[in-house]
Structure 1
Amino acid sequence: MEIAYWIVGGLLAVFYLYAGGKKVAQSQEQLQPMMGWVDRVPMPLVRTIGVLEVLGAVGLILPPLTGIAPWLAVAAAAGLVLIQVGGIAVHLSRGEARLIGLNIGLLVTAAVAVWLGTTWL
């Protein structure tokens, strides 16, 4: 279970560090081609989502790695599940049901991380 958690948690962390870092650092115009929804969401909210994604990525790795409050990894994974629920809701509200495949995959992967974290940590 430990190895499975590190694989799942590591992959999620890499994805969310990248995606969250882009949301934090790039302008609306730079994000628009990759994330069409940023035109209807205020940039402070986009930045907040980015910060939460980066914190979630750090939370998946740092607590179990250091052994300090490893339960935070489960909380981080649960938070990432909630971010994807929000992402699915945004896509569905925009009539973009065909675009929720990545969101569903990330939601399931984060849910697996929650499960692995509760069985291993």
Structure 2
Amino acid sequence: MNTFLWILQAILATVFLGSGIAKSTMSRERLIATGQTGVALFPMPVVRVTAASELLAAAGLLLPWATGIAPWLTPTAAAGLCVVMVGAAWSHTRLREPQNVAANTVLFAAALLVAVGRLAAL
């Protein structure tokens, strides 16, 4: 189970590191052109806060558990990504993008597995 959780953590960290970097550096138009269409419904300050949350979560998924320093931050980061995915799914639902909602659901499920699995291991 530990190996499986590490794999999920690495995948989630990679996905949200990329998403966070894109949302923190690109314009709304560029984000939409590259497939991050969910930003269309939010003001850019909200997008930038989401970007910061995703970047912090990417670090929180890996570093605390790997170092043993404040390991409770790993399930907390995963739970935070669940919240972000609920917002993303809402946005893509409003935009009538079922494929993106499905992707959000998969990411939500992976983050929930990490949150529950790591919380149980504390």
* Structure-2 residue corresponding to 1:2: 2
* Structure-1 residue corresponding to 2:81: 80
Asked whether the 8 Å contact 2:10–2:62 carries over to 1, the reply is: yes
User: Please, which runs of 5 or more residues in structure 2 have no aligned partner?
Assistant: none
* Structure-2 residue corresponding to 1:13: 13
State the percentage of identical aligned residues.
Answer: 36
Q: 2: distance between equivalents of 1:100 and 1:43? A: 21
Q: Tell me the TM-score normalized by structure 1.
A: 0.92
* Structure-2 residue corresponding to 1:39: 40
Asked whether the 8 Å contact 1:5–1:113 carries over to 2, the reply is: yes
1:32-74 per-residue CA deviation (whole Å, 9 max, x = no partner) reads: 1212232331111111111101111100001011111101100
Q: 2: distance between equivalents of 1:4 and 1:40? A: 35
* Structure-1 residue corresponding to 2:98: 97
* Structure-1 residue corresponding to 2:72: 71
Q: 1:116: how far off?
A: 1.6
User: Please, which runs of 5 or more residues in structure 1 have no aligned partner?
Assistant: none
Q: Tell me the TM-score normalized by structure 2.
A: 0.91
Asked whether the 8 Å contact 1:2–1:120 carries over to 2, the reply is: no
Aligned residues: 121
Q: 2: distance between equivalents of 1:32 and 1:22? A: 11
For the aligned residues, what is the CA RMSD?
A: 1.3
Q: 1:77: how far off?
A: 0.3
Q: Which runs of 4+ in 1 moved over 4 A?
A: none
